[in-house]
Chains A and B, each alone.
Chain A
Amino acid sequence: MPELYLRMLDRILTPVLLILTFFLLLRGHNLPGGGFIAGLMAAAAFQLQILSRGEEVVRKQVGQYIQPGIGIGLLVAVGAGIAGVLGSTGFFKGIWFDISLGPLGYLEIGTPVIFDFGVFAVVVSVVTSYLLGLNRVAEGVDA
């Protein structure tokens, strides 16, 4: 049941939510945010899409990425841990790099941040998979 006003809202809100997701994910290490919260935020954006366009449309768009998303997220997270072993500091010990961005200054990035990306991928995929499944059940009852 795609509602007209929801569609309008969705056009404006979804990009905003997704950019906000990105923002929360990146700043998470120093300010409120992080993988868990960003993942939930992205899932909320997908839920908005589902409400306005229906479950099937959204499933066509993102459904195929959900299961790989869970697996890749776990792999990235484990990989961030293993990086510590290869760096001879131990499993899940953080390794940090300073990447010079020229005039923009320095980007400090470390394996914990990469780990957070993995957490994000798992959370957004898992929650979206639940959302799609439950919405399918809900929409099915309607008919």
Chain B
Amino acid sequence: MLLGFLASLFISGILLWWSRPHNKPIIGWLSVLPPGLITVWQVLRIPEIAAGNFYTERWEWMPSLGLDVSFRLDGLAVLFGLIVAGVGAGVALYTHYYLEKKPSQGYFYLALFSFMASMLGLVWADNLLTLFVFWEGTSITSYLLIGFDHEKAQARTGARNALLVTGAGGLAMLVGLVLLGQSAGSYSISQIVAADGLRESAYYSVAVVLIFVGAFTKSAQFPFHFWLPGAMSAPTPASAYLHSATMVKAGIFLLARMHPALSDTPLWFWGLLIFGGITMLIGAFFAIGKYDIKALLAYATVSQLGILTMLLAFGSEYAVLAAVVGVLAHALYKGPLFLVAGIVDHATGTRDMSRLAGLLRAIPLTGLAAVLGIVSMAGLPPTFGFLAKELLLENGWEMIGHGETLAGWLVFGGGAIAGALFVAYSLTLLWEVFLRRKADATDAAHVHHPPSFGFVLAPLVLVLLGTAAPFLLGPLALLIDPAATAISNETIHSHLALWHGFTPVLITSLIAIGSGTLLFLGRAHFRRLLASLPKNLQGDLLFEQGLRGLYSLARRTTRLVQDHTLAGHAAVVLLVAVVPVVAALSYTSISELLPDLTGEVLTGPEMIMALLLVIAAWATVRAKSRMSAIISLGVVGVTVTLFYVFFSAPDLALTQLLIEVLTLVLLVLVFYKLPDDKRPPQGRLRQAGIVFVSFCAGVVGFVLVLFNSSEAMNAGTAISGYFTDNSVPLGHGANIVNVILVDFRAFDTMGEITVLAVAALGGYALLRAPAARLLSPLLNEANTTEAEEMEETDRA
């Protein structure tokens, strides 16, 4: 069922792409259906899950590696699953209006729905490796979505940085997950979470640190936070969906998933507390200085993600509930706010807050959605955001009460400061864009393109859901409690309420709101202060420098191992192959490896072929012109083919012959046109070097073949016997070579054809490169294919 859902999302992505949806509004509405149905299905599962009956699904992928495709719908999975599918349904509709009449809309849908499938797979996964595969899927689709406007350099840089950071983090995380799986003896998440003793494992700290790296890169935690604001060059639906509601929470999700198994150690506690706390503060701090609505929202998101990370350091009921409510509340206000930013951009042509004013009156429905969302973002009562913040402070207060003063005050104080900053930037956004009169803004932008109803619908519905949520806490507990239980592994029955009476927490909350308002009034000073900070405090510049260093290192090593002649390249490759083999051989006794040749007689035909081979090779080397060298090289190849025929290896012979023919034809074609070789003859030393390398390579090749047929080498190799025995019964084929290729060793072949495909891309790029074009000025323009046109625009 679940796998079917993922497949159906992917297929609908392809269908949407095919249907060219950009001028068919009906398709925009239809695109809501697949994620909408998944949302409904999950909602219907909630009562079962609340009762503790989890829906599971499992397929064996590679049982020998512990790799299954398995899904398990517990409270945490369904919470995130609902956010992914529910917000996804809204974003699908919104996309149609945002990318109005753009022919590339279909492609965006394809990438968006592929992302949705990956993200749902990630949150439903019950196997570490399944989770990893979908995790990487989200990284790649996110790269495609950020780089959607690939004509813009900014989009390309943003996409590249996001991919490098999350990709590198993903690889680190893979190592951590494998360490975890090996020390737990299982890759099944539900088994790992239930297992004891992981904290005593020798690999615990390494695994946790690596998993932190994965989670921090994905969820934009300090010091990797810079990629998220950079990713704002994505089209707004992608920013709203990936970079606020879903993907950036994947790291939080992973930490929450692993919480029962790994938490409650100093490493876990302080790691999350410190990095989450720093992220929370710098995100909120920088958000105030931004004039671009999307940039402000991006830094606010970074800050919110910091809060969630910090909360997961704890295991208390308040902290876990605060995390769950925070995730849900954030999806229901930040997602719609991003969507609103897109509508504002569409309607006025700018996202610059200094040029916007009075939009509540100009576009009232959008304005309503924005006001409700911003109030929740500010954490003002009685919103969902307020509830989340109260729980956070409550957690800190409880810690202080229990004697954990340092951590408690850190959370309590940090939370209060962040709360004040949240209020400040929320009020700024609310006042400057939506409330103040037009006359207050210099050069105010006009609404020249009011949004249609379908455009506003998605943010409005989401924000209304978020507004209604705090008044429906009873039914919501069915969703929140199982999720909190999955994080803490102890059954949690929440008794959430908006009103707790006059507690110290409420008073702190009110003080924070008050100081936030003061900050808002003095925002001009604050912005000036932030603008005067040195630019390289932002991580992206450092990252850029590091990247440039890497490039120049690559250039230098390339220059070191590749000089400007083909012979030089070949010499390096051959030496690299020869040296380790010789080193390895020096540890063995050669006499053992020599085959027993007594009784072996050289037959007449064999002798003739060998002679032919030697003569042809000699002729190739001594040839005066290129043509004769190519021809005699062809003779060498065909003679080798003859050897295969002689020793009855028809498949090898066929392949070799075909390759030989194709190479020969191509070489003749290309070399025939080349001008004569007018270079001066090589120096003695260089010539001697080439001869030496060739000699070494030849001798090593010969010796290896010789050794290969010796008793000692074949003693332990039972594998060929296995192939001959099982080819027909298991492989259903009598041609062993083919059965090995497509069945026994299908994985290898898969790798090989993938390499071939990648090599084709490289070859395509090389042959179309400017240097190749110089050689072929007669490029027929009428013959340009679509791919070439794309390449042209890319270059422009």
Contact = CB atoms under 8 A, between A and B. Distances in A.
Do they bind each other?
A: yes
Interface of A: 24, 28-37, 40-41, 43-44, 47, 51, 56, 59-60, 63-64, 67, 70-71, 73-74, 77-78, 81, 85-86, 88-92, 94, 96, 108, 110, 112-113, 115-116, 118-119, 122-123, 125-127, 129-131, 133-143
B625 interface: no
A67 B786 CA distance: 11
A108 to B, nearest CB: 6
A126 B760 contact: yes
Interface stretch (B26-34, B392-400, B764-772): B764-772
Nearest to B747: A92
B735 A31 contact: yes
B791 to A, nearest CB: 12
Interface string B726-761: 000011111101110111001101100110110110
B776 A78 contact: no
Given A40-B655, A133-B767, A140 B776 contact: yes
Contacts of B685: none
Given A112-B746, A122-B757, A137-B670, A37 B651 contact: yes
A79 to B, nearest CB: 11
A34 B746 CA distance: 13
Contact of A86 (B59, B776, B785): B59
B621 interface: no
Interface string B643-667: 0000000110011001101100110
Interface of B: 59-63, 67, 69, 650-651, 654-655, 658-659, 661-662, 665-666, 669-670, 672-674, 730-735, 737-739, 741-743, 746-747, 749-750, 753-754, 756-757, 759-760, 763-764, 767-768, 772, 775-780, 783, 785, 787
Interface of A is mostly: helix
Given A63-B785, A130-B760, A140-B777, A91 B743 contact: no
A88 B778 CA distance: 55
B767 A33 contact: no
Given A74-B757, A110-B732, A91 B742 contact: no
28 contacts: A28-B738, A29-B738, A33-B735, A34-B741, A34-B742, A40-B659, A44-B661, A60-B783, A64-B785, A73-B757, A74-B754, A74-B757, A88-B60, A92-B747, A94-B732, A108-B732, A112-B743, A115-B749, A119-B742, A123-B753, A125-B760, A126-B756, A129-B760, A136-B776, A136-B779, A137-B670, A138-B670, A140-B776
Contact of B763 (A33, A36, A129, A142): A129
Contacts, number: 177
A35 B655 CA distance: 11
A31 B730 CA distance: 17
Nearest to A96: B732
A142 B59 CA distance: 58
Given A35-B741, A36-B655, A134-B666, 5 more contacts: A30-B735, A51-B665, A73-B757, A85-B60, A85-B61
Contacts of B775: 137, 140-141
Contacts of B738: 28-30, 33-34, 116
Contacts of A74: 753-754, 757
Contacts of A110: 732
Contacts of B658: 37, 40-41, 43-44
B756 A131 contact: no
Contacts of B749: 77, 115, 119
Nearest to B58: A88
- Among A44, A135, A141, the most chain B Cβ lie within 10 Å of the Cβ of A141
B388 to A, nearest CB: 40
Nearest to A89: B60
Contact of A126 (B655, B735, B737, B759): B759
A78 B133 CA distance: 15
B748 to A, nearest CB: 10
A81 to B, nearest CB: 7
Closest 5 CB pairs of A and B: A140-B776, A133-B767, A29-B733, A32-B650, A40-B658
Contacts of B666: 47, 131, 134-135
Contacts of A70: 757, 760
A67 B739 contact: no
A129 to B, nearest CB: 5
A141 B747 CA distance: 41
B651 A32 contact: yes
Nearest to A28: B738
Contact of B735 (A29, A77, A142): A29
A52 B212 CA distance: 62
B292 to A, nearest CB: 38
Given A122-B753, A134-B670, A141 B776 contact: yes
B742 A29 contact: yes
B734 A133 contact: no
B757 A30 contact: no
Contact of B742 (A112, A122, A133): A112
Contacts of B61: 85, 90-91
A124 B736 CA distance: 22
B734 A30 contact: yes
B768 to A, nearest CB: 7
Nearest to B743: A112
A113 B742 CA distance: 7
A19 B403 CA distance: 84
Contacts of A24: 654
A142 to B, nearest CB: 6
Given A36-B741, A113-B742, A29 B650 contact: no
A101 to B, nearest CB: 17
B655 A29 contact: no
Given A90-B60, A131-B662, A139 B733 contact: no
A96 B739 CA distance: 13
Contacts of A37: 651, 654-655, 658
B541 to A, nearest CB: 38
Contacts of A89: 60
Nearest to A116: B742
B411 to A, nearest CB: 45
A47 B669 CA distance: 11
A138 B666 CA distance: 9
Nearest to A142: B673
Contact of A137 (B731, B772, B783): B772
A125 B670 CA distance: 21
A44 B775 CA distance: 24
Given A90-B61, A94-B731, A133 B764 contact: yes
B125 to A, nearest CB: 15
B767 A138 contact: no
Contacts of B742: 29, 34-35, 112-113, 115-116, 119
B662 A133 contact: no
A87 B742 CA distance: 18
A54 B746 CA distance: 37
Given A47-B665, A133-B767, A135-B669, A81 B746 contact: yes
